[in-house]
Amino acid sequence: MTELTELTAVQLVDGYRKGEFGPVDAVRAALRRAEEIQPAVNAFVRVDADAALARAARSADRWRRGEPAGLLDGVPVSVKDILLLRGGPTLRGSHTVSPEGGWDEDAPSVARLREHGAVFLGKTTTPEFGWKGVTDSPLSGVTRNPYDVSRTAGGSSGGSAAAVALGAGPLALGTDGGGSVRIPAAFCGIFALKPTYGRVPLYPASPFGTLSHVGPMTRDAADAALMMDVISGPDARDWSALGPVGGSFVDALEDGVRGLRVAYSPSLGGQVAVHPDVAAAVRRAVERLAALGAYVVEADPDVRDPVDAFHALWFGGAARVVQRLGPRQRESLDPGLREICREGARLSGLDHLAAVDVRMDLGRRTGRFHESYDVLVTPTLPITAFEAGAEVPKGSGHRRWTGWTPFTYPFNMTQQPAATVPVGTDAAGLPVGLQIVAARHRDDLVLRTAHALYEAGAVGIAPPPGFVTSAGS
């Protein structure tokens, strides 16, 4: 029997429908796994086993009556501790957020999951206010990589990535302002989608403005499509949310990639030095796309590195986050966060508008690029996971996390949908990710391209070494 912690959300729902097992079994197994992995990887800020089992019991009753509440009834899910989950505090990785208060509201994506019967295991770790591409914070410490606990899980949704990779629930919600679902998913060997900005509504609004997206972190593209069918759509609390979806993301998966125009950019036109193991794994997956009938050409988008403009927007947002804090509270912040906040506070309104100009021009150029190509494929990251507890790899010469994430943050600037799929490992056994990007509003193309690779057996990697499955019942 396949252990319940190994099953996808699609498989769990199918098993519930057939009566092969129930939500209480699946949730109990996921909770046991969360407890097992926590000492080694530190994926969770808080686990609420009693509430999860109570929700699972109610779900089991609905399934016995043949009346499931929705598409994810009884499926275990975790939530990054940036997003509101009613019933407990959202501390955002910071000692400066008081746990006191009502905490009686869900974020829009969380509310949609609740409506569909999903079972919340708890909250996952984040760097302070989600500010960087690795996951460590003064509040919760360092989150580690499931494939090598001396390495980082990536960030800022590192806890969510580690939880999914190690079987503590097949689904997680993350946020992505510069790569924050794609970076940890690539480092931890799972799938993640940054949807088109506004496709998944966000409330409260991110201090990083329209750079920040909410997205699914899952075992595969089919689970992400199912999750998108639940969490997409407007919410009155988000004035920038998109209108209703025109169809089902799940239904669109089966269209495949035959005839799809794929641009393969191995290094963004020579701008990025990519590790040979990463480059080789990505190229092999691209060759499989061609074998599946896609028209693949090597072509680079007209993307000149927008890092200075990104920093102006990102550092300014960080400064706004801490603007209300007094001197003593600021002293408790992550030192790197304090540094970028000082830089952000020195920026003027004209600096911000100049960055917006760069962003608008970048969006125009990528929009024109996608008139010729349906999807763009790149490495997700030029490297694999490095030492835990560091913002940048030792000896890299990079000053900030953006130095080693050149493939991710440009597509937050342009608000395009982008996903990462695991395409192999390096010589040390660390996961490698491939990124799929499409034009704004074409999340369906990203998901269907990824799904075709999963269906062909071209992506997906072995579980982490030492992966010990929990009992399924």
The HSE-up count of residue 81 (CA atoms within 13 Å, CB side) is 30
Active-site residue, 98 included: no
Residue in 80, 123, 132, 194 annotated catalytic: 80
Beta-bridge mates of residue 387:
151
What is the C-alpha separation between 380 and 189, in angstroms, rounded? 11
Q: Which helix (H) or strand (E) holds 146?
A: none
CA distances from 134 to 101, 154, 450 (A): 29, 4, 25
Whole-number Å distance between alpha carbons of 349 and 235: 30
The DSSP bridge pattern shows strands 171-176 and 76-80 to be parallel
Over the Cα atoms of the chain, what is R_g?
Answer: 21
**Dist CA 307 CA 304 (whole Å):** 9
Q: Are 93 and 126 in contact (CB under 8 A)?
A: yes
Instruction: Let me know how long the chain is.
Output: 473
Is 156 a catalytic site residue?
A: yes
Active-site residue, selected from the candidate residues 78, 94, 156, 160:
156
Q: Which of 59, 180, 206, 265 is catalytic?
A: 180
DSSP characters for 207-267?
TTGGG-EEEEEESSHHHHHHHHHHH-S--TT-TT-----SS-HHHHGGG-STT-EEEE-SS
Is residue 180 flagged as an active site residue?
yes
The answer to whether the beta carbons of residues 412 and 177 sit under 8 Å apart is: yes
Give the residue numbers marked as catalytic.
80, 156, 180
